[in-house]
Amino acid sequence: MLRRPEREAAALLDQLGIEGPAVDVEGVAKSLRIKVVRDVLEDGTSAMLIRQGADALIMVDSAQTKARQRFSIAHEIGHFQLHRELVFVDKQPARVNFRNADSSLAQDPREIEANGFAAALLMPAAWVYAAVEKLRTSKRRPSEEQLVISLATTFAVSEPAIRYRLLNLGLISSF
């Protein structure tokens, strides 16, 4: 049985009719009526989700690589889909989530879920298995490093992101 972030990401891809890589993450945000804005963010913040009423905004650090920006946007979409609780800002209900260096430390369950959602949205397990099988059965069987480089390009993610995904899916044994 799939974990909740995997199920939610798969359901969203299915709902939007997205059937292969690379996922247009900004198109996904737009379909959810989330505005994406790029700006230089301070204090190591990669991205943030600001939700107030029916309006939602993802601010993403424009100084990050494109692959990192894509993952950060997907991560914030994960918060949008999975975490609906609100806080109050100036007596108005709002929700603000930040993605920063601490988000990947596996300490906050909501951050773990948002990272899982982002991985599943950008690199769905079935697509990764199929891509790996295709590469491994090709005439020029790739090394692990070549596999990582090829898949990172196919899925438009960073090499560390695809390595973690391959590791978590049991397709490689070490980082």
- How distant, in Å, are the alpha carbons of 51, 54, 78 from that of 86? 8, 12, 15
pLDDT at residue 106 in the model: 58
Candidates 56, 138, 128, 68; CA nearest to 101 is: 68
Q: Please, which residues have CB within 8 angstroms of residue 160's CB and are 6 or more apart in sequence?
A: none
Q: Please, which residues have CB within 8 angstroms of residue 14's CB and are 6 or more apart in sequence?
A: none
**Domain 4-122: assigned CATH number:** 1.10.10
Tens digit of each residue's pLDDT (9 = 90 or more) over 32-91: 999 999 999 888 889 999 888 778 999 999 999 999 999 999 999 999 999 876 443 344
Domain assignments of the chain as residue spans, ordered by start: 4-122, 124-175
Does the model's pTM come out above 0.75? Answer: yes
Considering only CA atoms, give the Rg of the chain.
Answer: 16
